[in-house]
């Protein structure tokens, strides 16, 4: 048994190479599945990767079945400060569970946080993390003249957007897209489109709201809209390996189409 400190500064007692892990974070579920196969005893209903995941479902990220988690007798529960409720984490800890809470708001934090977690659980397979670090750290610096100012919209009815201090905002920043709501006092502000500051690109991911070519872009016309892969934009873990290439391609497509002269 070794004591480690999670992202929030809490000490967590972890057995060497835990054999039973419950993950309350879809992206970290994928990371554990890739790095420490056969250790996942329980996952949320939203844990969709890998597709062949075989583990007990213990509810959603916001409403996990705490009693069911305890019955699984995990060596470790993995949670996230943003995705999971504090009261559920407290309830698990009060029941004697060891809970590792991640707090990830930038790409660099994601890489470092996952490296610490995988080291703490003695995960045998983590070459994907080295690949992800290499790809993100080798991105070219985008000149100011080529950067875009974007609104990153994640919901409608009501309209909700990415605000300050978010992983998604940092991902786009590294790809040359600056969030016009980066200085918002809220991380996910609700704001009518007519009240947004000036922007020259709208970024519409397919999760949590499933924006599509026929649902979303019409509200921003004539501003170019980039319909992007939500997993690439918001999931840390193995998704980070291909995320730069996927997002750059989707952003470039939107800007290319938006720069075309209007048809006559």
Under DSSP, the state recorded for 255 is H
What does the alpha-carbon distance between residue 86 and residue 91 come to, in Å, rounded to a whole number? Answer: 9
Measured CA angle at 228 (ends 182, 127), to 5 deg: 90
Residue 90 tokens read as 């407290």
Cβ pair 217, 207 in contact under 8 A: no
Distance, first Cα to last Cα, the chain: 71
3-state helix, strand, coil in the chain (%, to 5): 35, 20, 45
Q: Give the global pTM.
A: 0.94
The dihedrals phi and psi of 80, each to the nearest 5 degrees, come to: -140, 140
Instruction: Say what the pLDDT of residue 176 is.
Output: 97
Which whole-number Å values give the CA distances from 258 to 252, 253, 255, in the listed order?
10, 8, 5
Question: Could you count the other beta carbons within 10 Å of the beta carbon of residue 83?
Answer: 18
Which whole-number Å values give the CA distances from 203 to 111, 194, 199, 211, 235, in the listed order?
24, 16, 11, 10, 16
What does the alpha-carbon distance between residue 111 and residue 114 come to, in Å, rounded to a whole number? Answer: 5
The backbone region for 96, taken as left when phi is positive above 0, alpha when psi lies in -120 to 50, beta otherwise, is left
What are the pLDDT tens digits along the chain (264 aa)?
Answer: 899 999 999 999 998 889 999 999 999 999 999 999 899 999 999 999 999 999 999 999 999 999 999 999 999 999 999 999 999 999 999 999 999 999 999 999 999 999 999 999 999 999 999 999 999 999 999 999 999 999 999 999 999 999 999 999 999 999 999 999 999 999 999 999 999 999 999 999 999 999 999 999 999 999 999 999 999 999 999 999 999 999 999 999 998 775 543 322
- Residue of 81, 55, 82, 52 whose CA lies nearest to 69: 55
The domains located in the chain, with CATH, are 2-125 (3.40.50.1980), 139-258 (3.40.50.1980)
Quickly list H helices, 16-78.
Answer: 26-35, 66-71
3-state secondary structure 119-183: HHCCCCCCHHHHHHHHHHHCCCCCCHHHCEEEEEEEECCCCEECCCCCHHHHHHHHCCEEECCCC
């Amino acid at each position: 048994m070794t004591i480690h400190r999670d992202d929030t500064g809490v000490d967590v007692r972890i057995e060497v190479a835990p054999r039973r892990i419950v993950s309350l974070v879809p992206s970290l579920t994928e990371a554990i599945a890739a790095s420490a196969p056969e250790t996942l005893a329980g996952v949320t209903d939203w844990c969709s990767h890998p597709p062949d995941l075989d583990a007990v479902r213990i509810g959603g990220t916001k409403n996990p079945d705490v009693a069911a988690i305890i019955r699984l007798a995990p060596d470790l529960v993995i949670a996230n400060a943003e995705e999971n409720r504090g009261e559920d984490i407290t309830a698990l800890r009060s029941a004697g569970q060891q809970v590792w809470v991640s707090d990830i708001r930038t790409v660099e934090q994601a890489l470092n946080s996952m490296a610490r977690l995988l080291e703490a659980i003695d995960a045998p397979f983590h070459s994907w993390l080295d690949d992800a670090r290499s790809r993100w750290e080798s991105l070219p610096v985008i000149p100011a003249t080529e950067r875009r100012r974007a609104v990153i919209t994640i919901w409608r009815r009501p309209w909700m957007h990415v605000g300050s201090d978010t992983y998604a905002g940092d991902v786009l920043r590294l790809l040359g897209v600056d969030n016009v709501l980066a200085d918002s006092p809220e991380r996910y502000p609700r704001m009518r489109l007519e009240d947004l500051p000036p922007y020259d690109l709208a970024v519409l991911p397919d999760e949590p709201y499933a924006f599509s070519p026929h649902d979303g872009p019409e509200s921003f016309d004539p501003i170019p809209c980039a319909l992007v892969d939500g997993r690439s934009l918001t999931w840390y873990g193995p998704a980070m390996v291909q995320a730069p290439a996927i997002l750059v391609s989707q952003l470039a497509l939107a800007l290319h189409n938006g720069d075309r002269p209007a048809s006559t």
